[in-house]
Amino acid sequence: MIQLLVVDDSAVMRQTMIAICRKARDIQVTVAADPLIAMTKIAEQRPDVVLLDIEMPRMDGLTFLRKIMAEDPLPVVVCSALAGRGTEVSLRALEEGAVDIVVKPRVSLHTFLEESTEMLVDTIRGAAAARVRRRMRSWSGGLQAADGGLKPAAPLRRTTRKVVAIGASTGGTEALREILESLAPDAPGLVIVQHMPEVFTAAFARRLNETCRIEVKEAADGDRIIEGRALIAPGNRHIEVHRDGAEYRVRLLDGPPVSRHRPSVDVLFRSVARAAGVNAVGVILTGMGNDGADGLLQMRHAGAHTIAQDEATSIVFGMPREAIACGAVNAIHPLSYIAGAILGATSGKKRSES
């Protein structure tokens, strides 16, 4: 049984979460109206997951999160408004150790319960499986290259000879940060699906763009895939890669969720298998579920080099495990090695097989 502690000053939100979790027999809910009450309840019975509002009386959620992650780390899911200050603060919470974000309802409670129950329950289960650690580093916020110099000017823009496709979910924001910050300005073009609500992806891309030597942006329909650029799929839109003559471009699509997600890693990987084949590298990172496993297998069958993050460095090993189990993976690496493995695979160096 998963023990969930909901910390939110809104009585409506607390009752909503109780109603949602009644439909999931494996989740038991306790509630607290603010972090001080929550601390008492945690001392009495340590929860498996904390669902945390950010703006609350007596102690704000970010301060409470820092306290949890410094003293006794727990999987924390941030419950955030979808716009304005809530977006930036929620991304800061991910940097401070939260494992995921859920969005507060913008519609009636009845509609929210009908449309969001499955997503919220999946998020809670994914968080319960997460392995969290004390925070050793926050984002630097700024814009220096590895040698301490200023972020260099954008490199000459040309079509990438290789396409790197990356899929991630729970824990993926920090994994992506580590990989992208390690890449030089002439790195091959990347297309990324990170499971994240709409609006948050644009802010996430902006923050990465500030700390990376490559350009990072939320993808727009028709964007070219070029060296020195990473395109992040917008929340709630599928992304595909298509060949346009000598160029690769992305298309954004609506449509139903695939593998329970929109954007879906499977949608991206399958399109890369068709469009790029042997000119592609596929990477599957930390996350719950099996999104990406089938698509990565198609990439491998098309001749792409495929990489999975290892269990020891994954916050949740579900997505990499499923890809490995179905035979989709050429190589398994710890997170710290993946940027180098991408560059090795795209530079023509000999690939290491798992």
Q: Tens of pLDDT along 250-280?
A: 999 999 999 989 999 999 999 999 999 999 9
Domain borders along the chain are 2-128, 163-346
Domain 2-128 shares a fold with domain 163-346? yes
Give the sheet arrangement for strand 49-53, strand by strand.
27-32, 2-7, 49-53, 76-80, 100-103
Looking at domain 163-346, its CATH superfamily turns out to be: Methylesterase CheB, C-terminal domain (3.40.50.180)
Q: Which two tokens stand for residue 310?
A: 């290892």
State the Cα torsion 60-65-70-76 to the nearest 10°.
170
* Contact criterion met (CB below 8 Å) for 217 and 207: no
Q: Which residues contact 301 (CB under 8 A, 6 or more apart)?
A: 273
What does the pLDDT read at residue 90? 85
Single pTM value for the model: 0.88
Dist. CA 301–CA 161, nearest whole Å: 19
Which DSSP state fits 49?
E
What does the pLDDT read at residue 199? 82
Active site residues: 169, 195, 291
Mean pLDDT value across the chain: 87
Q: Which two tokens stand for residue 107?
A: 């519609």
Which DSSP state fits 170?
T
- The gap from C-alpha 227 to its chain's centroid, in whole angstroms, comes to 22
* Tens digit of each residue's pLDDT (9 = 90 or more) over 183-207: 999 999 999 999 998 889 999 999 9
Pick the CATH number of 2-128 from 3.20.20.390, 3.40.50.2300, 3.90.1150.10, 3.40.366.10: 3.40.50.2300
* Tens digit of each residue's pLDDT (9 = 90 or more) over 67-100: 999 999 999 999 876 555 668 888 889 989 999 9
Splitting the chain (354 residues) into consecutive groups of 10 residues, what average pLDDT does each group show? Answer: 93 84 87 94 96 87 92 91 69 91 69 70 92 63 42 50 95 96 95 92 94 97 96 97 93 94 97 97 96 98 98 96 98 97 80 42
The pairing of strands 305-309 and 331-333 is parallel
